[in-house]
Structure 1
Amino acid sequence: MSFPEMNRRSALKAIAGGLAFPFVARAGVAPPSETLNHASFGGSGMALADIRSLTASPHVRLVAVADVDLDRTAEVKRLFPEVRVYQDYRELLDSEADLDSVNVSTPDHMHAPITREAIRRGLHVYTQKPLTQTLYEARQLTKAASDRGIVSQMGIQIHSHPVHKAVVATVHDGAIGKVREVHSWSGKQWGDRAPRPDRTDPVPEGLDWDGWLGVAEERPFISGWYHPGNWRKRLDFGTGTFGDMGCHILDPVFSALELTAPTEVRSEGGAPNEHSWGLDSVVRYTFPASPRTVDGFTLTWYDGDRRPPEEVAALIGDRRLSDQGSIYIGEEGVLYSPYIDAPVLLPAEKFMDYARPGPEGDDHYLQFVEACRGNGETSTPFSYAGPLTEMVLLGCLATRFPETSLAWDAEALKVTNLDEANRFVRREPREGYRVEGL
């Protein structure tokens, strides 16, 4: 399926404006005075939260929503009575020629195809985390957004929160010196050890099961196993706890330490079974030195019931480890960063007189809206979000090969010492759901 590279609204602007050629180069860019015509892919859950946050701006008009489960669109229709509702994302994109921007807030496996088709049409895109489900998709979306010149933002709202900014500013201020290692964790348990139930249930009325499967292989509907919430646990649809929370919790680590791609990754925790992501992950990365880290810097991720070892936890004294967070171990001190809570510098007596940075936060959604209108830039464009997502997804991939150190060539998107691992770098989409460039 091929689509024009300029939407109708952009073409009309170019013709009517005569000399307004900047808007030809960046199709869909709206003048600051204009209201954005916006569509959402997803109509409930996180998608509805995204819709509410984006339309908090008076410069956003929600005109269309696509959701494969029409029974879950009642609330969005109540809130926006004029909204046009579609069940197939492709039909929405083909029918709504006057769009400026979209949010992609579907299960992980459909982020890439929908986002790529939106970019092809020159639409600005707000895509939920993780940006994609595979490494190859993340690389391709990063390139496509750059080539097309659209405004992009990944839905990691914590990036714009003042506590995130405080962590980054404190590290950049040199408070703890160069960092030797970081330990990060999440207590969530988006995995499953149980086998897939051997049954087929009736597809609920209003649900397009084929459309929900999208790029994934056909399989029977099993009530409660996939839709609406447990897809995060399943290999073909979600990315487990690591993919769900890694893009949030490792975001300040990635930006504060100015990390590039890891050179090696090793899983020492729970492995997936045939259908579901594992539980209790422990994944260790090795990175090349950055301006903020020493040679041999390591980052270790833990989830479920796993936590940093006692000698690391002891660095925060008698404090109880938060359910989610990070510990940065530097040459001159320790920074304890509970998730969405004020960072703590240790030892306390050393930092009693330290003037802590107090940056102000931003509205992550309205930042996107204003960037689409030509005012400022986004803080997590795909040029940033793509490499962050690649790092996280490499960790997810590593859990499939426990107790094995995988050597990673980021430029080639390839594991160089275990060819079997490379079949998980890219997926083969199901016939009918293939998208050019993925």
Structure 2
Amino acid sequence: MQSRRHFIRQSAATLFAAPWVTTGMRAASPNGKLRHAAFGAAGMSMADMSAMSNHPMWELVAVCDVDTRNFANAQKKWPNIRVYQDWRELLEKEADNIDSVNVSTPDHMHGSIGLAAIAKGKHIYGQKPLAHNLWECRQMVERARAKGVMSQMGIQISSAFTERHAVALIQMGAIGKVKEAHTFSNKKWGDLEVRPAKSDPIPAGFDWDKWLGVASERSYIEKYDHPGNWRKRRDFGTGTLGDMGCHMFSGWFRSLDLAAPISVKSTGPVPNKDNWAINAVVEYTFKGTKYTAGDTVKVTWTDGDARPPAEVMALVGDVSKFPGQGTIYLGTEGVLLSPHGSTPLLYPREKFASFGAYPKLEPRDHWADFIDCCLKGDKQPSANFDYAGPLTEAVLLGCLASAFPGENLTWDAPGLKIPNNAAADKMVRRDYRKGWEIV
């Protein structure tokens, strides 16, 4: 495995070309560094800031978090930063002092904060999923393009050797034309119970109202939403599909050159009024491309204890060793198994034992890619919003479809509509709490 990884070297430019280029806004600091603000001071935001800090031309100016208990670690690492508890105040006061932001908050606030930053002309590194609902996602794409800012979604696996290797193998025809694909995750970001009817004291330093943001008012329950469990809640997160889908769909979205799905159908459990379900099964139909075997191609998502069909897993031999997360592509000339974060494998093994056409790849750092593009202004990053937006829309459509089991929902991508189901169509955009509307 290691020797094969060492083998992988090829320019990223051959795998992606941005469909548009920004106006080339440059860092305005005297030392030429990209001046940055972070929304979120812990968890994934801390990971994003730490990764960006490896770039010599990046400097952290300000951090915002609704939970002031999260500031200590950030201030220990970057003692000169200014801290805020209200993201709107940061954007207002630091507008002339920052060039870029990362939005690494719970999903329900990605759209509000991201769109406000874009409106002020800030380059944006947006965590996945790009937004919490389809309308916000489309707005992120269109407004980032109109404003001419650099953008990158936080799907760092798409810059890793492993996924880029799988993409290249599919596109060079190693397994022929792809007939179908199955993407799976054994994570269980869901909850079968409804929200408890209780209330706990709000911790000192934590602004529950600002954490709720666009969502409707409700009582605080200790450790139920914050920290950590918000992914399970429909109003705040997007379940396992929203958590892992943007990472894992990227491999086949890019390798098969897919656009918007034609339709989506859920045959798994139904979420309750508060929480996402577990063991999802979602079937997508896409228009075929030059990399697929037919006029259409189906991709199926499963999570939790749900798995691809036994006969599909058997194509790679010992089912007991089937990975917990990944994608399996069924081609006309073979099978490619792409375990999440690991080297892709070709099957049958005996057929590909002497396969020597592995591509050469150059290393690519996902965060440095964003920073370099912001500073140079000559091209978009690899997972810019024109790419990440349609990808996220496919993920969010699957989340939405889970509320309508067995129904084949058609997707009118240009119109941002689900024309064959009025109830589903109403869920394209959420209801916003008064005072927190996005305009």
- SS of 2:51's equivalent in the other structure is helix
Aligned length: 413
- SS of 1:247's equivalent in the other structure is helix
Contact conserved, 1:162 with 1:361, CA < 8 A, in 2?
Answer: yes
For 1:194 and 1:170, how far apart are their aligned partners in 2?
43
Contact conserved, 2:150 with 2:374, CA < 8 A, in 1?
Answer: yes
- Which residue identity is paired with 1:172? Q
Residue 372 of structure 1 aligns with which residue? 374
For 2:426 and 2:101, how far apart are their aligned partners in 1?
31
Deviation by residue 1:358-392 (Cα, 9 ceiling, x = unmatched): 42331100111111101654100000000000011
For 1:408 and 1:30, how far apart are their aligned partners in 2?
42
Residue 63 of structure 1 aligns with which residue? 61
Give 1:140 shift: 0.8
Superposition misfits of 4+ residues, deviation over 2 angstroms: 24-33
Alignment of 1:345-360 (within 5 A): 345-355=346-356, 356-360=358-362
Contact conserved, 2:288 with 2:295, CA < 8 A, in 1?
Answer: yes
Deviation by residue 1:275-320 (Cα, 9 ceiling, x = unmatched): 0001100000111111111223100000000000111011111252
For 2:79 and 2:56, how far apart are their aligned partners in 1?
17
For 1:435 and 1:425, how far apart are their aligned partners in 2?
14
For 1:318 and 1:80, how far apart are their aligned partners in 2?
49
TM-score if structure 2 supplies the norm length? 0.92
Deviation by residue 1:78-112 (Cα, 9 ceiling, x = unmatched): 11111111000000000002210111000000001
Contact conserved, 1:186 with 1:323, CA < 8 A, in 2?
Answer: yes
Contact conserved, 1:235 with 1:277, CA < 8 A, in 2?
Answer: yes
Residue 156 of structure 2 aligns with which residue? 157
CA RMSD across the alignment: 1.5
- Which residue identity is paired with 1:140? Q
Give 1:428 shift: 2.4
- Which residue identity is paired with 2:384? P
- Residue 360 (structure 2) pairs with residue 362 (structure 1): no
Alignment of 1:248-397 (within 5 A): 248-293=247-292, 294-318=294-318, 320-355=321-356, 356-374=358-376, 376-397=379-400
Give 1:352 shift: 2.1
Residue 176 of structure 1 aligns with which residue? 175
Alignment of 1:197-212 (within 5 A): 197-212=196-211
Give 1:406 shift: 0.9
Contact conserved, 1:283 with 1:300, CA < 8 A, in 2?
Answer: yes
Comparing 232-241 and 49-58, the one that deviates more: 49-58
Contact conserved, 1:28 with 1:124, CA < 8 A, in 2?
Answer: no
Change (3 A) 1:33 1:250: same
Change (3 A) 1:32 1:338: farther
- Which residue identity is paired with 2:218? R
- SS of 1:226's equivalent in the other structure is coil
- SS of 1:391's equivalent in the other structure is helix
Give 1:27 shift: 4.7
- Which residue identity is paired with 1:392? V
- Which residue identity is paired with 2:386? S
**Percent of pairs with identical residues:** 50
Give 1:393 shift: 0.5
For 1:106 and 1:246, how far apart are their aligned partners in 2?
17
Residue 406 of structure 1 aligns with which residue? 409
Change (3 A) 1:32 1:397: farther
Deviation by residue 1:46-80 (Cα, 9 ceiling, x = unmatched): 11111111111121111100100001111001111
Residue 93 of structure 1 aligns with which residue? 91
For 1:27 and 1:121, how far apart are their aligned partners in 2?
12
- Which residue identity is paired with 2:374? C
For 2:316 and 2:23, how far apart are their aligned partners in 1?
52
